[in-house]
Chain A
Amino acid sequence: AQSVSQHNHHVILSEAASLELGCNYSYGGTVNLFWYVQYPGQHLQLLLKYFSGDPLVKGIKGFEAEFIKSKFSFNLRKPSVQWSDTAEYFCAVRALGNEKLTFGTGTRLTIIP
């Protein structure tokens, strides 16, 4: 069965700092990977996704993520965060041919102005 780990539970950064949120998945076969963001009191929105090709994917709002197959990782990065990036970030994995999208436990990101 597929599973996802996000080891950073709460990250606090100052504006303009660089961000990297960890995501590791567990599954032996081909996967599709996603990062979602949930702003306070809102629903989940897709930031970016990977399913094939270039392992470095770019998403909305200046976010990017790199798929490293050998490490089973899909870390999220942003070179310079803004106060408006304060939110909960979820990594998710979906095995090829499977309808089920499994989420990690989420990382709460707090940006200090």
Chain B
Amino acid sequence: DTAVSQTPKYLVTQMGNDKSIKCEQNLGHDTMYWYKQDSKKFLKIMFSYNNKELIINETVPNRFSPKSPDKAHLNLHINSLELGDSAVYFCASSQGSSHSPLHFGNGTRLTVT
């Protein structure tokens, strides 16, 4: 049973397209996150939701829009994809307290050509 699952695992698309990545967690956690990992392995938080409410919104282009239909799901929609959006996107969840670790999904490798 996968705790945090993301789909798709790989996504190859052309510049200008719109794409979505889905994430679901079955851990009963209250908080979900999206992180971006660039080609140098640097991990940067993008968004966080707690019980469907946005609580962290880092400096991310507004082409990126997260959507949380319920606390078990956090999807990421990206409009007008650019070459610089190529990266691995990781979804994660946690119980919400500051000493609770994050549980990560397997990542979605996005390649924009």
B101 CB contact (under 8 Å) in A46, A97, A106: A46
Q: A100 and B56: CB pair below 8 A?
A: yes
Tell yes or no: A43 within 8 A of B by CB: yes
- The residue in B41, B90, B101 that gathers the most chain A C-beta atoms within 10 A of its C-beta is B101
Of B17-25, B43-51, B67-75, the one contacting chain A is: B43-51
B residues in contact with A82, CB < 8 Å: none
* Number of chain A interface residues as a range: 20 to 34
Q: B96 and A99: CB pair below 8 A?
A: yes
Contacts A42-B106, A43-B107, A94-B98: A99 and B56 contacting too (C-beta < 8 A)?
A: yes
Contacts A100-B45, A102-B45, A106-B43: A49 and B101 contacting too (C-beta < 8 A)?
A: yes
Q: B101 and A34: CB pair below 8 A?
A: yes
Q: A101 and B102: CB pair below 8 A?
A: yes
Q: Which parts of A66-82 form the interface with B (CB within 8 Å)?
A: none
Q: B106 and A95: CB pair below 8 A?
A: no
Chain A interface residues (CB < 8 Å from chain B): 32, 34, 38, 42-46, 49, 51-52, 88, 90, 94-103, 105-106, 108
Chain B interface residues (CB < 8 Å from chain A): 31, 33, 35, 40-45, 48, 50, 55-56, 90, 92, 94, 96, 98-99, 101-107
Nearest CB of chain A from residue B54's CB, rounded to whole Å: 11
Q: A44 and B56: CB pair below 8 A?
A: no
Q: B98 and A95: CB pair below 8 A?
A: yes
Nearest CB of chain A from residue B63's CB, rounded to whole Å: 22
Q: B98 and A88: CB pair below 8 A?
A: no
